[in-house]
Amino acid sequence: MSRTPGRNDKCPCGSGKKYKQCCEGKGPNPWGTRVMVGLVLATMLGALYAGVVSFSEEPSSATPVPGKVWSPEHGHYH
């Protein structure tokens, strides 16, 4: 549990000013921003990876078996 400073409390950066007059607008939590960027990047990479996998995955009907007939109803060769 983290204690968030009130806007009228002294700024946690130690400047002696009130928080609302000092660091409030400067991006109060740089780690939070980094986590957000990391999450977005991870999501994008995951989507890219999923796309690559689905593209490289050949459908079974694309690999014909000699002497057999593909049955779409059964989902296998006869």
Residues in contact with Zn ion by CB under 5 A are: 11, 13, 15, 22-23, 74
Quick one: 24 or 50, whose CB is closer to Zn ion? Answer: 24
Quick one: 33 or 43, whose CB is closer to Zn ion? Answer: 33
| Closest approach of Zn ion to the CB of residue 23, in Å | 3
| Closest approach of Zn ion to the CB of residue 45, in Å | 35
| Closest approach of Zn ion to the CB of residue 41, in Å | 29
Helix (H, G, I), strand (E, B) or coil at 40: helix
